Amino acid sequence: MQNRWRDDEAAEFVKQYGAQWGEDLARRTYTSRLLGAEPDLVLHGGGNTSVKGTHTNILGERVPAIYVKASGHDMAAIETDGHPGLDLVSLRKLRALDDLRDEPMMDEFRAGLFNPHAATPSVETLVHTFLPPKFIDHTHADAILALTNQPEGEKLIREALGDEVTVLPYIRPGFKLAKAVAAAYEANPQARGMVWMKHGIVTWGETAQQSYSATIELVARAEDFLAKQTAKPLKVAVQTPVEKARGRVTQVAPILRGLLAQPSGDQDRPFRRVILLPLTTRDVLDFVDSDRGRELALTPPLTSDHLIRTKALPLWIDAPRYEDSTKLRDQLSKAIQDYSAQYGAYVDRHAAHIPAGVGRFDFLPRVILMPGLGALCSGKDVKAAKITCDITAHTLAVKSRVAAMGSYEGLSEEHLFEMEYHSFQQAKLGPSAELPLAREVALVTGAAGAIGSAICEELLEQGCHVAATDLAGDALSSLVEDLRKKFGDHVIGVPLDVTDPESVAQAFSAVNGTWGGIDLVVVNAGVAMVAPLAEINLDSFRKLERVNVEGTLLVIGEAARHFKIQGTGGDIVLVSTKNVFSPGSRFGAYSATKAAAHQLARIASLELAELGVRVNMVAPDAVFSHGARRSGLWAEVGPDRMRARGLDEEGLEEYYRQRNLLKATITARHVAKAVLFFATRQTPTTGATLPVDGGLPDATPR
């Protein structure tokens, strides 16, 4: 562990934030980010920091204040408002109480905030309040946990860190922990820090640098101590190659994701799905393939902070039947049923301790460990699943480190339950309102074009995870680059040639291997040409047949096979055209091939209904562009139409506007909204066509 404090960087924070927020909070923000940048110290919102100072109120009076990290805020990216200010004097008085439950304690925090709109401070706020030093740093460092989570933990901590630290047994975060910490500090005020068994470490100082440096120095001592231990590494008889594990993920993930989808009771949207991320690193594979993998995996988490993300225990699959998908499905299904029954019994055993207003979690596992594959981590979206994955990677690394030294000892079931069903912890999972497509994955073909890119954007804005597919090249990569700026991990680009069955299968596998499955397939790729029948060149006609007809067939066929494996229904939306109903002259190849595609989608609606798959079509009139993205189709057709009608581009757009009943300009966004209507399943509809044309009586579907 390196000390990353740099005077010039600290000065930069003071320059940026000092005038408005004060120099102390500026440096507090700086060292909090330094801690947050070390995944071996804290992960995703773990740990907390504080600084004491003053607050100037509306009367101009300076009153003693404490600024404590807000609950769940990620230190790696914390801003100055991530440390809300509280009235230090009134909070300190709480120490006179014998006990204080979490809910009234949280009310005291909210009442003590100088800014009533500020975020709720950490559950560990009173630890920071009761400790006298100005700066306090608290983390859940891996190296410390590797020592505390052993039967001889306290002895090991003293050996590793020397007598400069105070050691406290495990106490659940809250009022009692704060009182115990204050008493332990007063008993040994010379100490530089304090280790809380099976929880983490606290350090302090009169400056931000002192407190931060104490954390780094003590954690570095623990790391050095661990490095010197005679280690008996886990034995791995047969190593699974990473590539092989990744291949298995694409086979297993859709089955598992289907089994982890919970029935919702809503006939239109019958499942609450999860996003499933794989963990197939060399270390994780060696862990699950090792002689002690199972025994170590089925032990409690490193620290109770992780519980709400991982649950107390993962699901372990013994000897997975990769060679036979049917047997594998049965095996996984049975294992999930057993897990749920055990989780239900655990909740029942402790039900009397669930605080008022705290709901029960579902009974499903968050982490699934499989020899020969690694881990699959679930979450309500990619962000939540990523947090579970990161925690899992660290947990397995620390457990194997501990196993090399001795034996692992986690928290008792009572402590685990108390923390899992803790109102503060549950609040970290965030507001329960979700965007309509937050738990869904879409694959969009022809994504780099005008309509395709608008569909991707619309789906992403509704929370969907979107695989943008198109022919490999600049158009696709620049689209994905643009979308990632706004939507981050919710979007990936996958090269796909819809005319090549291999490429179609690979694209589906790539998406399954990334997010665990696919729920919506938007068949949008298409090409056009202009020529009268008398002059159509057969090769050109066949090119349209391949993309528009065979491409549609291949993508729908692959989607159908995938939806069957996943077993939770799905949606297919075909971007058709008004030409299917109202063809134009010199547009035979396009109209005929799109009509065939349209008919294939209608057939799919008949064949796939029994799987719970809905297939619908949207039929737009001409769309020229979407932002800077030009419609490839209109690049082909536009010039001919302009010549035929003696119009320039603007004139042609106006011509299309004037020919519909509503005199509406049809945009790519309009088409995307029509796709969204079907994707969000507003009505029990399949096999239907939604025109997006401003009203063209000749093109009304019939």
Q: Which residues form the interface with Zn ion (CB under 5 A)?
A: 200
Q: Which is nearer to Zn ion, 398 or 544 (CB)?
A: 398
Joined tokens for residue 390: 């990161």
The answer to whether residues 284 and 239 touch, using CB atoms and an 8 Å cutoff, is: no
Q: Which is nearer to Zn ion, 63 or 429 (CB)?
A: 429
Joined tokens for residue 206: 């009169």
Q: Residue 583 contacts by C-beta under 8 Å, 6 or more apart in sequence?
A: 591, 592, 595
Q: How far is the CB of 50 from Zn ion (least distance, A)?
A: 13
Bridge partners of residue 278, in order along the sequence: 376
Q: Which is nearer to Zn ion, 201 or 575 (CB)?
A: 201
Distance of CA 502 to the CA centre of its chain: 29
Rounded CA-CA distance 222/209 in Å is: 20
Q: Which is nearer to Zn ion, 53 or 200 (CB)?
A: 200
Nearest to 671, CA basis, from 696, 653, 649, 689: 689
Q: Which is nearer to Zn ion, 198 or 578 (CB)?
A: 198
Rounded CA-CA distance 141/293 in Å is: 22
The answer to whether residues 15 and 98 touch, using CB atoms and an 8 Å cutoff, is: no
Q: Which is nearer to Zn ion, 122 or 499 (CB)?
A: 122
Q: How far apart are the first and last CA of the chain?
A: 70
Backbone torsions φ then ψ of 60, nearest 5 degrees: 85, 10
Rounded CA-CA distance 657/662 in Å is: 8
Q: How far is the CB of 201 from Zn ion (least distance, A)?
A: 9
Q: Which is nearer to Zn ion, 48 or 548 (CB)?
A: 48
Query: How many residues are recorded in the chain?
Result: 702
Rounded CA-CA distance 674/670 in Å is: 6
Q: Are strands 262-263 and 62-68 parallel, antiparallel or unpaired?
A: unpaired
Q: Are strands 441-444 and 520-523 parallel, antiparallel or unpaired?
A: parallel
Q: How far is the CB of 343 from Zn ion (least distance, A)?
A: 24
Q: How far is the CB of 305 from Zn ion (least distance, A)?
A: 6
Q: How far is the CB of 266 from Zn ion (least distance, A)?
A: 38
The residue sitting closest to Zn ion, measured at its beta carbon, is 200
Measured CA distances, 74 to 48, 177, 540, 648 (Å): 9, 22, 56, 54
Bridge partners of residue 615, in order along the sequence: 572
Backbone torsions φ then ψ of 551, nearest 5 degrees: -60, -45
Rounded CA-CA distance 441/258 in Å is: 13
Q: Which is nearer to Zn ion, 194 or 389 (CB)?
A: 194
Nearest to 206, CA basis, from 120, 299, 101, 136: 136
Q: Which is nearer to Zn ion, 128 or 273 (CB)?
A: 128
Backbone torsions φ then ψ of 120, nearest 5 degrees: -70, 130
Distance of CA 702 to the CA centre of its chain: 43
Q: How far is the CB of 303 from Zn ion (least distance, A)?
A: 7
Q: How far is the CB of 409 from Zn ion (least distance, A)?
A: 18
Q: How far is the CB of 296 from Zn ion (least distance, A)?
A: 23
Helix and strand counts by DSSP (H, E) for the chain: 26, 22
Rounded CA-CA distance 664/591 in Å is: 23
Chain position carrying tokens 């001409």: 622
Q: How far is the CB of 146 from Zn ion (least distance, A)?
A: 16
Q: Which is nearer to Zn ion, 302 or 466 (CB)?
A: 302
Please report the DSSP string for 72-140 in residue order: T--GGG--GGGS-EEEHHHHHHGGGSS---HHHHHHHHHHHBSSTTSPPBPTTHHHHHHS-SSEEEEE-
Q: Are strands 193-196 and 165-168 parallel, antiparallel or unpaired?
A: parallel
Q: How far is the CB of 424 from Zn ion (least distance, A)?
A: 11
Q: How far is the CB of 428 from Zn ion (least distance, A)?
A: 12
3-class state of residue 550 by DSSP: helix
Q: How far is the CB of 200 from Zn ion (least distance, A)?
A: 5
Q: How far is the CB of 399 from Zn ion (least distance, A)?
A: 19
Q: Which is nearer to Zn ion, 200 or 691 (CB)?
A: 200
Q: Which is nearer to Zn ion, 200 or 300 (CB)?
A: 200
Q: Which is nearer to Zn ion, 42 or 615 (CB)?
A: 42
Q: How far is the CB of 80 from Zn ion (least distance, A)?
A: 22
Rounded CA-CA distance 700/702 in Å is: 6
Farthest CA pair distance, the chain: 98
Q: Which is nearer to Zn ion, 122 or 209 (CB)?
A: 122
